[in-house]
Amino acid sequence: MFTLRSPFILAFSILVPAFAQAQMPAPVIWIQTSLGDIAVELNQEKAPITVANFLRYVGEKHFDGTVIYRVEHGFVLQLGSYDAAGNRRPSPHDAIALEANNGLKNLRGSISMARNDEPASATTEFFINLADNPALDPLPTDTENKTGYAVFGRVISGIEIVDKIAAVPVGGNGPFPGKGPVTPITINRIATASQP
């Protein structure tokens, strides 16, 4: 039998799970490199498809043993699938939709998905912005999510490691001629903060 408090209880029971979900902490991943560790907070609220895709590859250990293959001083560090010899590790999953028009900007310390010319072509390659890079943001006139690069997180610890990597001599192997570190910088592991 309903009482006068029933509508309140019903509303409370509906709102509490929604509130709890909204208060869930953002996932944090650790990029463990041969030069030190970088912690990145992922923004699953603004980039849910991108974060889910990235975490799937983290869970599959796709990135472990790869290298940072592109260092452009004052621009970006890029990594994802290449080994020290310049060989690419295949991406076992389909490319994802572009989420660049999500309100997040390519600012220093942000992490974004790399892609080909086709908007929905990102798989495993990603980069860390070494500076504010507004040219990588979607065009203001883009209403169809076809331009820019999707930001999906930000460095929250280890920016000094990012800067240390950004300062290494380049000219080694990789898909960007002359941009690979002369001494390979290995990604020993990428793991979530909850993984042992």
Is residue 5 domain-resident?
Answer: no
In which domain, by residue range, is 59 found? 26-192
Is residue 8 domain-resident?
Answer: no
- Mean pLDDT in residue range 115-121: 97
The single-letter DSSP state of residue 196 is: -
pLDDT tens digits, 62-88: 999 999 999 999 999 999 999 998 899
Taking the CB of residue 173, how many other CB atoms lie within 10 A of it? 18
Is the Cβ–Cβ distance between 97 and 50 less than 8 Å? no
Residue 39 one-letter amino acid: A
Tell me how long the chain is: 196
Residue 15 to residues 5, 7, 21, 192, Cα–Cα distance (Å): 15, 12, 10, 29
Q: How many angstroms separate the CA atoms of 50 and 129, rounded?
A: 17
Q: What is the pLDDT of residue 173?
A: 79
pLDDT tens digits, 164-195: 999 999 998 789 999 999 999 999 999 998 76
The three-state secondary structure class of 114 is: coil
The residue written with tokens 């010899």 in the block is 85
Q: How many angstroms separate the CA atoms of 37 and 125, rounded?
A: 19
Is residue 106 domain-resident?
Answer: yes
Contacts of 186 (CB under 8 A, 6+ apart): 33, 34, 65, 66, 67, 84
Is residue 56 domain-resident?
Answer: yes
Is residue 121 domain-resident?
Answer: yes
The CATH number linked to 108 is: 2.40.100.10
The total number of structural domains in the chain stands at 1
Is residue 130 domain-resident?
Answer: yes
Is residue 68 domain-resident?
Answer: yes
Q: What is the pTM of this model?
A: 0.87
Is residue 64 domain-resident?
Answer: yes
Q: What is the pLDDT of residue 22?
A: 55
Q: What is the pLDDT of residue 141?
A: 93
Q: Which helix (H) or strand (E) holds 28?
A: strand 28-33
